[in-house]
Structure 1
Amino acid sequence: MPAPDKIFGMASPTTPPEDPDDWGTPERAPGRWEDDEDASSARKRWSGALNAVFGPLWNDPRGRPLLLVSGLALLGICALSCFILSLVLLSERPGPFPPGPEIAEATRPSVTDEPTARASDALVIRVNDVIQPAPAPSRLTIGVSTYRLVPMNVQGARWQYDPGAQKTAFWVPGTLVNYVVGLHASPENREVVESLSVGDLILLDTNLGTQRYRVAQKETIRSDDVETLLAQNSPRLTLVLLGEGGDQRRIVIATFTDESTPNQLTAIGTPINLGDVRVRVINQRLLPGSAVGLPAGKSYVQVDFEVTNVVTRILDASQFFSEIADVAGVVIPFSRQASAAAGGRGFPQGALQPGQTITATAGFEVPDALSGPNLEWRFSLDKTSPYIAKVAIPYRPIALPPTPAPTRAPVAEVTILNAQISPEGNELRIVGNVRNLTGQFLSGSLRDVSLSGPDGQLYPLNSSLPAFPWNITPGETLVFQLSFARPQTSQPVVFTLFGQSYRICEPAQPCD
């Protein structure tokens, strides 16, 4: 197609120069999309505008420094704005620790990211106007490994903890009956958990003293099985490995035990851990000398006990040693003849295999003038061991029965350790212990326990751990959990067990 005739400027006999904007022949015209023309025009307009503003300044040598200083100032203002924006964004981060492994929520009422409720809504307990502090944990001991305990930051369905913290365990706040404790799955902590066996001892130090737990089972659960982890239905400790990944989670469940420690005087029925063995007194009795062929003024005291080998090597039971002492400090060693008299099982002898439990009798020949009302029974692995089990043994010389006291003495000592509303909100759960103060078995049934309101109405007992009936041996302490229907009242309620009553109040209630 012939180029259109256009005239630029004044007429001249010479051929005008080609304008690049002129339409040429198809052979000379380069390929271009329709919007290329608009983009080219826009670039030219911007270039012309910038040249009109800054061209005179740049062309003038005296104006160039001003132009450079202005550009640098604009660049500095942009950099400062970016820095301030970064500080604001960092200050709004939720916490210093990276989010830990997720535990699925028990319920998801909405899609908003709200913190879930604690595993249990612990009450501030006031028993007879005395505030009972919650037993918050501070240290965990597994074998020779000791960990400080710190609360975890629980947000939504996630556990937030510091995986780099050394010798630290993480406690789920609010779990006070079933203590839920997490350990980061480092190689060292995995080795500690994998080395645990059924029956191993775990110690939990709280602000109310040391609590003892024995490993009952090890299992693997789904990562979202929150109900198993956080259930507050029985006194125990649940140990969780954190950060293993996957949809499975390894846990260790250790049940509460009221066992004692060496060199501390304990009651009959309380297990005592001596390191290599665990020993527990079952019963005691006094045999009159006339019934077993002893001379006048002599009798036999027999103590039935069981001993368990808790280590992996064979123990020589013939090295075991036992003695008794009265309040005046008179010490009497055991007698093998007294241990087997009148149907006694005899003192242990021979090999005690790993995990084996034997029941034996330690017998002692005592004078009738031996001081009472209690004797101290002692047991150790050998005669030189510094770790000694000590048990208070009731002792009363053979005599005529005393005249009954005119008033009835208390048969039990009841202590409340904790009271809380269940996670579902429909039960009041009371945890405590009861010690038999009598010299005979103490039976407990539904008739011995009640929860009543201000008008005398009774609230039903939903469940009890252990289940009724109870049979508590003399001097033994039994740990219990009783779950009642939650009282629907704004006034304190009265809990009664074995004739001993306690007022229990929620924080907003008067407890006068």
Structure 2
Amino acid sequence: MDDVRLTAEDLKTFDDFYRRRLAEVGGARDDAEELAVARDILQAAVNDGLTPTADGGASYVRRQGAMDWTDPATIQAAAQVSSGSGRGKALCAAGGCGHVKDMLMGVAMLVGAMAAVAWFLWPRGAKGEGDEAGLMPTPAVTVEAADTSPTSLPTLESEFLADIVDAGVKTGLVVPRTLEIKGSSFVVQPVKITAGDWPLPDDERAVSWVYGTVVNYVLGLEATPANKTLLASLRPGDELLLRMSTGPAYRFAFAGAVRVAPQASEIFGQTRPGLTLALLDDEGQPTRVVIRAVYEPNSEEVRGGWSPAETVEMGRAVTLDDMLRLTPLESKPLALPGAPPGSVHLAVDYVLENRLDGRLSLSGNLAHQVVDIQGLAYPPTLSPLGGTGRYPPLPAQLEAGQTVTATAVYVVLEAVLREGVTWRFGLAPSGTTVQVPLPSYTGFLEPQVTVQEAALLPGGVLALTLDLVAGLRDVTLTAADVQVQGGTLGPDNAFPWQVPAGSSGQFTLSLQPDGGVPLTVVLLEQGFEITVE
């Protein structure tokens, strides 16, 4: 340990990771909470090989020759390294804790020890990002056929779920409890990863969570036929719901899949909020499928502050506190720029009338949101409405007797539109509130492709007749947008294909099969396998 040398860059990397972890848990209200956070990170570094990386992420794969952190002498030596690091002043400046020397020294010791851990475990020469998955299984999957009944909670190692007790302060450990995917519920089982070995969960209806991944939640799912079918049925925007031990539920939208080598550590990166789900123990496969989902920042738990709401139907007028008359008109999803993957803008048109004899200020006096059936609320967003045929936003005030028609816009998950959502509108902070059930959306949000006919022509050319239905957006397809495996595009394709939003069209796709191998076609993120006999 006497030859440990931490560069300024190494210390900055670990300091940035530590500060992000503090912000991620909502900040430390006192020194005891900050110490608990530091101890949590140190435990992950000691037990799991957590190592911050320069790109803001973290690796959990130890390199050969790492120190034995189960040896008390190693821990003591790491603490000695931290004693002269000068971290105390920096932490006090950030947290305002200069008056509690004992607690401050504890945090400084822990952070210094973590920095020493990082020095020993620092990864060199990380491998590149995994290749994009060539094709998930054919989308003709009936998810309802899978067993969706919740299973009992497996026995979890007490060292993971034990409370953190220090300096008389007891804090419950915040961990994921369940993961829900398209109606299927999985119990979350924390695991440690050592030397690249990722343990399977105890039950095929459970997922293994890599302990310590709390920005990008990394989980593993056994590659059973039912689980593979379930993941194959995911489409962009499909929802994954992660429920925590302390009550909150975090929503993630499916963004895509990649294949990576089993030893790849990039999937553990903690650069941005998200959820990563890997298929484990897929026999005969040299790589593993990894599902990526993005965190939905505009969804949150419905909290207090709303008065009990009266339910009104679309088109019915209602007066709020004898001062404002509201008439909800219509709701409609819109194809506007800026929506995250798997999300869509939802517009709600309504009429407001000032019932007072004088001017009525609207700024800060109104509150409205969209709430889904799970109780998550989506606040309004500012989005350009030019060219959409909708109404402008509300003015800052209404004159006596003035009536205006306005449009409110929200960013919601595409999946919740099919379940049905509720629009809440009320006078802030505690005036009358009404809620309006919005009809479930039954149209197509994304383009749909179906094969109507397949014919083998002279010369071995295969002609597919495809029906293409556009969703909210216009669709334009070129030859570069069609991926073919087991063959090539034929010479007689008339690209580009164009279908206006909300319309449909029929096209012929010409293919030249290689013969002897299955022919697979992928377009608009939908795949089809054709067997040529």
Q: TM-score range by the shorter chain?
A: 0.3 to 0.5
TM-score under structure 2 normalisation? 0.34
TM-score under structure 1 normalisation? 0.36
